[in-house]
Amino acid sequence: MTNPADHKADCPVADNTISEMTTATPFQFSATVLGDQIQALIGSELIQVNHILNRQLRSSHEYMGDILQHAGQFRGKQIRPVLLLLCQKAITGNANQTAQTLAAVVEMIHTATLVHDDVLDDASSRRHMATVHSAWNTETSVLLGDYLFSRAFRLAASTGDAGACELIGHATDLTCAGELHQIAAGQVRSKSERDYFRIIRGKTGQLFGLSCYLGVRATQASGTGHKQLQIAGLELGMAFQIADDVLDLTGKEDETGKDTGNDLANRRLTLPLIRALQLASATEQRQIESLLDTSSSELFAEQQQQLSAHPAVRKGVASADQTARRLIDRCFRRFMVLPKSPERQLLQSIAKFAVRRRS
């Protein structure tokens, strides 16, 4: 079986990124309007997905039950289940139990990666709540993430679709590989755009692409557009991560709902800073490097503020934002392979909004 996750999407990398940037079509939706439309189209399906999740995140053991309940509050906007359900419903027009189960699977895998990420980043808050890592301990976080992965694969197997299980396993492999690449890049403070896009393709893009692909697979429909939808999700996930990296550099914790400056604290150069160094003069490069070399943890907030205010960094942020919008423009067009429907229109609206969010 050819795995769609192996397809090399034409993502922006290395030398051609800055020269090929375009500006996305203006877009005016608010988060409230978008949320209302999601509820109108797939609200009942999302309720069923959350029922499935609640059953999976339950334990008669008090200690474990408390941890699972806490981790269950990290669900947020559930964009991956939303993508899966919308892709499925855009084709069939009806609710699908298999799609709901698979939507719960991808959300559990995502939650597992969040729990592990918080350990790697030594993060204290997520969605305005204490992380499992800070509320309990590192051992609990690692084992909880492993437990969620295990439960997710067991739930996927309950659909009887061995092919879907293989796709889920492969995408999860690549997600973990993306995290390992990020650690390696951080150790040498890589300034390579190729390294950066390789990381975000794995750690974020894969689950977005998997969600879109599984949504179509759940319809059991044949067609040539399946791979295009997988790539659309991949591009959306990459754009989403670029926007997240901009927020990590320029946002505030009360806006993002999680610790900011984690990339700086962990010596990671994300696209805004990579671009800033490319666009800076020699003097500006030395100024930025000096700020990046700040090693005292209590200075990270001041360091973040100085960096985000630096003229070259502001240029880097604008450049990264344009690349995210370019990815979204391509994603938007790929969604056109779906039949014209409110679900397709909402997928395109979600894509446009992904790079304009604040949390």
When pLDDT is cut at 50, 70 and 90, the band that residue 254 belongs to is low
Q: How far apart are CA 192 and CA 235, in angstroms?
A: 19
pTM score of the predicted model: 0.88
Is the pLDDT at 357 greater than 70, yes or no?
no
Quick one: pLDDT band at residue 89, thresholds 50, 70, 90? very high
Span 179-192, mean pLDDT? 91
Per-residue pLDDT for 261 more than 80?
A: no
- Residue identified by tokens 């204490």 is 130
Residue 324 main-chain phi, psi, to 5 deg: -60, -40
pLDDT tens, position by position, 297-353? 555 667 777 888 899 999 999 999 999 999 999 999 999 999 999 999 999 999 999
End-to-end CA distance of the chain: 38
Q: Tell me which range, 20-24, 346-350, 352-356, is most confidently predicted by mean pLDDT.
A: 346-350
| Both tokens assigned to 146 | 């492993």
Q: What share of the chain is helix, strand, coil (3-state, %, to 5)?
A: 75, 0, 25
Q: Which range, 4-13, 71-80, 108-117, 318-327, has the best average confidence (pLDDT)?
A: 318-327
Q: What pLDDT, on the 0 to 100 scale, is given for residue 309?
A: 86
pLDDT of residue 171: 94
What is the pLDDT at residue 305?
A: 79
Give the pLDDT score at 26: 45
If we measure between CA atoms, which residue out of 266, 296, 338, 303 comes closest to residue 122?
266
Q: How confident is the model at residue 253 (pLDDT cuts 50, 70, 90)?
A: low
Burial track 297-335 (b if 16+ CB lie within 10 A, e otherwise): eeebeebbebbbebebbbbbbebbbbbbbbbbbbbbebb
Residues 6+ apart with CB under 8 A from 28: none
Q: Which of 4-13, 72-81, 126-135, 235-244 has the lowest mean pLDDT?
A: 4-13
The rounded distance, in Å, linking the Cα atoms of 308 and 192 is: 20
How far apart (Å, rounded) are the C-alpha atoms in residues 248 and 258? 9
Q: Which residue has the higher pLDDT, 13 or 91?
A: 91
Strand-strand pairing, 129-130 and 125-126? antiparallel
Q: Read off the pLDDT of each residue in 20-41 and give the average, rounded to a whole number.
A: 70
Check residue 74 and give its pLDDT: 81
Residue 126 backbone dihedrals phi, psi, to 5 degrees: -150, 130
Q: Kindly state the average pLDDT of the residues 177-194.
A: 92
pLDDT of residue 250 exceeding 80 = yes
Does residue 19 carry a pLDDT above 50? no
CA angle 323, 324, 330 (to 5 degrees): 90
Supply the pLDDT for residue 75. Answer: 77
Q: Which fold has domain 29-354?
A: Farnesyl Diphosphate Synthase (1.10.600)
Say what the pLDDT of residue 14 is.
36
Task: Delimit the domains of the chain by residue range.
Answer: 29-354
